[in-house]
Amino acid sequence: MLKKRIITAVIAIPIALILILYVPSTYFAALAGLLILGGAWEWSNFVGLEKNTARIIYVACVLIGLLLAAFLPIAWVLMIAWLVWCWIAVAIYRYQNNTATTGLQCVHARALSGFIILIATWVSIVTLQTQMQWQSPYSLIYLLCIVWAADVGAYFSGKYYGQSPLATRVSPKKTWAGFWGGLIAAMLIAAIGGIFLTHHFLSYIALMFLSLITILFSVIGDLGVSLFKRIRDVKDSGNFFPGHGGILDRIDSIAAASVVFVLGITFIPL
């Protein structure tokens, strides 16, 4: 499993960097949209749609949402998504403590939350890649690096030091050691990257604070997708990435983190 994860990462990371740095924004948005539509196909399984026709209709609805989102204020889309992630965070807590999942057992709630999350993820990624935002496209690379660092740090610290479980009902393999290891690894990368992205001390401190909140939400994203998998009783969202699972298994953390990060750089002067 580790070998497959490494091989997939070695192939995927350079491709991602080339796309971010060298592909024109319009084409990048289209490619990111295709990835999101693949995620929509997987999310339709979370919703409980089993017939291909129903799943295609759900993907088509997300596609229409992507097209409409291009004409909406970015902050509106992301604020709605942020509220959805806060709702999911409450659902994670309640599910872990053997109470109701705060509405997510409802098919319509899962369908709507996925619709909003997927569209907001696309909006966030495309916004960071264009030249319209702070330090684009390097801000997107920075975000991906801290999220990936958190993932790697959590994997190895959890593997070698994990004893106390983080959320046994939601994701049995996640531990507090993994949480702290991922947080430390991410903040180390953030501390280094922030030197190149900010121009004065106050901006650096603001970026570190935003990065901390971003990583905490990346954990919510990870656990959130795990919760949807528990509700539907599936191990992975798909098998698009060998050793990593499906598209949603790879972008779960980024989906939540990107929303918070873009909102942060929109409202916090850096």
Which residue, chain included where needed, has tokens 């696309």? Answer: 122
Number of domains in the chain: 1
* Closest to 92 measured CA to CA, from 255, 220, 244: 220
* pLDDT tier for residue 106 given thresholds of 50, 70 and 90: confident
**For residue 257, what pLDDT band results from cuts at 50, 70 and 90?**
very high
Q: pLDDT band at residue 259, thresholds of 50, 70 and 90?
A: very high
- Model confidence at 16: pLDDT above 70: yes
The confidence score (pLDDT) of residue 101 equals 60
| pLDDT at residue 147, rounded to an integer | 95
Asked if residue 260 has pLDDT above 60, the reply is yes
Calculate mean pLDDT across residues 96-113. Answer: 84
Average pLDDT over residues 82-104: 87
Separation in Å, CA 119 to CA 48, 73, 228: 20, 13, 18
Residue 216 has pLDDT above 90, yes or no: yes
Contact status, residue 74 vs residue 266, Cβ threshold 8 Å: yes
Give residue 114's pLDDT: 96
The two structure tokens encoding residue 270: 């850096």
What's phi and psi for 48, nearest 5 deg? 110, 10
Q: How far is CA 225 from CA 19, 86, 132, 171, 188, in A?
A: 26, 13, 30, 10, 26
Average pLDDT of the segment spanning 162-180: 89
Q: What is the pLDDT of residue 1?
A: 55
| Least confident interval from 30-34, 127-131, 154-158, 175-179 | 127-131
Of 50-64, 92-106, 123-137, 151-165, the range with the highest mean pLDDT is 50-64
For 211-224, what is the mean pLDDT? 97
Query: pLDDT value at position 240?
Result: 63
pLDDT of residue 262: 95
Q: Domain residues for 120?
A: 1-266
Residue count (the chain) = 270
Q: What is the mean pLDDT of residues 119-127?
A: 96
Give me the chain's average pLDDT, please. 89
pLDDT digit string, tens, across residues 219-253: 999 999 999 998 888 876 766 655 557 889 889 99
Quote the pLDDT of residue 132.
59
As a whole number of Å, the end-to-end CA separation of the chain is 40
Indicate if the pLDDT at residue 4 is higher than 80: no
